[in-house]
Amino acid sequence: MKLGIDLMGSDLGPSELLKAVVRFLNDYPVDIVVYGSDEPMIHHQRLTWVKTSQVMEMEDGPMAIRRKKDASMVVAVEDCIANKTDAVISAGSTGALLSAAVLLSKPLPSIERPALLANIPNAKQTVSVFCDMGANSSNTPDQLAQFAVLGHIYAKSMNQINQPTVGLLNIGSEQKKGDELHQEAFKKIKALSQLNFVGNLEGRDLLSGNVDVIVTDGFSGNIALKTVEGTVSAFGQLIKEAIMSTFLTKIGGLLIKKSLSIKKDRYDYRKHGGAMLAGVHHPIIKAHGSSDQEAFYHAIRQAYQIVEAQVIEKMKREFI
């Protein structure tokens, strides 16, 4: 297996991503091609470098892939499409990577809009597949039904769940709840007999782990995930303040510090890989823009497992 890695455009720079590449090369029997402006300082017999002259910046929008034909991200995606690599991983601009996926790899024939699909950790110490995380700013009922099938395939092949439960993020549990989009999507998903559809979910079910696949339009999905982020940050701040308030609370903080960090670990997004651009012809993985070595390592591992588990082939079988 050969994986293509875009080294440019992430917050922490190429050297941080390279550490993950080397660690991965030592752990897995793969070849890796890295794309970037400078030759890596690291040499490894299964590592090759493709020199590229441009960089996709975070502020680069979807149209930049037309202008920056020699950007590391674009060349990495093109090499994957030309079967020179089996998958691509990038921590660069989401908008640019999305448009590279849509314009170069192309959506599968029956997919109207590709989506960002990822595993999110939950209270049960498992993961739930979440789709769409925000690739789309609006969706149709048919598109939500397509996300349900993509999520189902991912949960089955990547998370090894035989009959994954599928839920629709909505504003109440009864079938009639929600706007027209979600009422229609409910019916369309329910009609898909191969799915184990359990009905509507609410925002409070997001981290419960009660369902294996969470289907959502990109707008609601983006709001929900960023709300989790904001809430975690507000409560982290609160706990910090509570611990720092007196001498005794500081001692208390020291006593629970390790235990708290072990428990918090289950929500560490870095251990769960990045997001897959689901619904296109090739495995394209978006790692978090601020990925450190640990996060990027798991994004590479995710790409490796997607290839191993033939996730794209399974999706193609459903949507071609």
Smallest distance, its own copies to C-beta of residue 131, A: 16
Is residue 119 a contact point for its own copies (CB under 8 A)?
no
If binding means CB under 8 A, how many residues of this protein chain bind its own copies? 59
Smallest distance, its own copies to C-beta of residue 266, A: 8
Compute the distance between CA of residue 206 and CA of residue 117 in angstroms, rounded to an integer. 15
Task: Name which of residues 9 to 38 contact its own copies (CB under 8 A).
Answer: none
Compute the distance between CA of residue 84 and CA of residue 313 in angstroms, rounded to an integer. 17
Q: 71 phi and psi, to 5 degrees? A: -70, 145
Ranges assigned E (strand) in 95-159: 115-121, 127-131
Is residue 206 a contact point for its own copies (CB under 8 A)?
yes
**Out of 123, 126, 194, 310, the residue judged to bind its own copies by CB under 8 A:** 123
Compute the distance between CA of residue 73 and CA of residue 93 in angstroms, rounded to an integer. 9
Residue type, 94: T
Instruction: Tell me the CA distances in angstroms from 267 to 2, 76, 203, 226, 247, one per residue in order.
Output: 30, 30, 17, 14, 29
Is residue 317 a contact point for its own copies (CB under 8 A)?
no
Query: How would DSSP label each residue in 69-96?
Result: TTBHHHHHHHHHHTTSSSEEEE-S-HHH
Residue type, 154: Y
Diameter of the chain by CA atoms? 64
Is residue 220 a contact point for its own copies (CB under 8 A)?
yes
Of 76-84, 101-109, 214-222, 287-295: span binding its own copies (CB under 8 A): 214-222
Question: Between residues 175 and 305, which has the closer beta carbon with respect to its own copies?
Answer: 175
Compute the distance between CA of residue 174 and CA of residue 192 in angstroms, rounded to an integer. 19
Instruction: Give pairs for 242-247: CB < 8 Å, separation 24+.
Output: none
Of 158-166, 170-178, 273-281, 305-313: span binding its own copies (CB under 8 A): 170-178
Smallest distance, its own copies to C-beta of residue 102, A: 18
Question: Between residues 38 and 235, which has the closer beta carbon with respect to its own copies?
Answer: 235
Residue type, 222: N
Question: Going by C-beta distance under 8 Å and a sequence separation of 6 or more, which residues neighbour residue 252?
Answer: 243
Task: Name which of residues 240 to 299 contact its own copies (CB under 8 A).
Answer: 241-243, 245-246, 248-249, 251-256, 259-260, 262-264, 266-267
Smallest distance, its own copies to C-beta of residue 95, A: 10
Is residue 41 a contact point for its own copies (CB under 8 A)?
no
Is residue 198 a contact point for its own copies (CB under 8 A)?
no
The DSSP symbol for 200 reads: E
Helix axes 293-308, 14-27, angle to 10 degrees: 50
Compute the distance between CA of residue 144 and CA of residue 68 in angstroms, rounded to an integer. 32
Question: Between residues 44 and 226, which has the closer beta carbon with respect to its own copies?
Answer: 226
Question: Between residues 267 and 319, which has the closer beta carbon with respect to its own copies?
Answer: 267
Smallest distance, its own copies to C-beta of residue 244, A: 9
Task: Name which of residues 136 to 155 contact its own copies (CB under 8 A).
Answer: 137-138
**Out of 31, 57, 142, 202, the residue judged to bind its own copies by CB under 8 A:** 202
**Out of 232, 268, 290, 317, the residue judged to bind its own copies by CB under 8 A:** 232
Smallest distance, its own copies to C-beta of residue 296, A: 22
Q: Can you give the binding site for its own copies, defined by CB under 8 A?
A: 122-123, 134, 137-138, 169, 171, 177-180, 182, 202-208, 218-220, 222-235, 237-239, 241-243, 245-246, 248-249, 251-256, 259-260, 262-264, 266-267
